[in-house]
Amino acid sequence: MNKRLILVTNDDGVASRGMEAAIEVARTYGRTVVVAPETMQSGMSQAITMYNPLFLRQVRKEEGLEMYSFSGTPVDCVKMAFDYLLRDEKVDLVISGINHGSNSAVNVLYSGTMGAAIEGSFYGCPSVGLSLDDHSAEADFEASIEWGKRIIGDVLARNERLPLCLNVNVPVGRPEEIRGMRLCRQNRGFWREEFFRHEDPRGREYFWLTGAFVNSEPEAEDTDEWALSHGYVSVVPVQVDMTDYEQLKHMKNVLHE
């Protein structure tokens, strides 16, 4: 077990409390290398840096742990690890998180946490995005650590190197308050945004973006949103093929090849 190599990243930044929680999970299963953004990178999805230089800095080194701060996005961090830092080694698992705030439903498309996890799966490496349904900087990660260890232990026990990617979300609560785990599907819904206009002291207008999630199927009991709202850890297998196969059948009657 100690010979395993676990790569850890996130989108909340290398100094976030959730990062320390992820490191605790990872070190349970082997040598841990962290490559994480030096600043907050939430909402970056699969973004990569192409037109600015990138800076890598080692911030911590001890037995079984190397930690690097990187000036890029979460996906940049994964690429840096696989294609440069660890290019001559076999990474056994990628952990992205533990995120401050859930990445259920359509959030999986916006999330830098899940962007990094998905990127890890592109390298044929099992990857797990871990998120806690609490945006507080002082969030209690104890339940997330416990369930993270449990789920990652099961993934590693498969002993297969497959491009598996899981989106794991943990509800708020003490470990004894979590009702269990649900394998489920992504909830259908969307964000309805609102822009608040302000003026700076020089009269220039600027905007703050806010919004609310609209659940399109609040009664469905097989979704990640339902699981979280009922005290369960949600686990959704994620794929990157965005083809709408149902529409593909119908479009054959609309567009003639």
Domain count, the chain: 1
Q: Which residue range forms the structural domain that includes residue 60?
A: 5-185+219-251
Supply the CATH number for residue 12's domain. Answer: 3.40.1210.10
- Is the distance from CB of 201 to CB of 163 less than 8 angstroms? no
Average pLDDT across the chain, whole number: 95
Say if residue 1's pLDDT is above 60. Answer: no
Q: Is residue 201 part of a domain?
A: no
pLDDT tens by residue, 30-43: 999 999 999 999 99
Q: How far apart are CA 132 and CA 19, in angstroms?
A: 12
Say if residue 138's pLDDT is above 90. Answer: no
pLDDT tens by residue, 46-61: 999 999 999 999 999 9
Q: Is residue 47 part of a domain?
A: yes
Q: Is residue 197 part of a domain?
A: no
Say if residue 103's pLDDT is above 90. Answer: yes
Q: What confidence score (pLDDT) does residue 163 get?
A: 73
Say if residue 89's pLDDT is above 80. Answer: yes
More confident residue, 212 or 179: 179
Facing residues of 142 across strands? none
Q: Is residue 256 part of a domain?
A: no
Q: What confidence score (pLDDT) does residue 3 get?
A: 85
Q: Is residue 207 part of a domain?
A: no
Say if residue 2's pLDDT is above 80. Answer: no
Q: What confidence score (pLDDT) does residue 253 get?
A: 87
Q: Is residue 20 part of a domain?
A: yes
Q: What is the pTM of this model?
A: 0.93
pLDDT tens by residue, 6-34: 999 999 999 999 999 999 999 999 999 99
Q: Is residue 237 part of a domain?
A: yes
Q: Is residue 195 part of a domain?
A: no
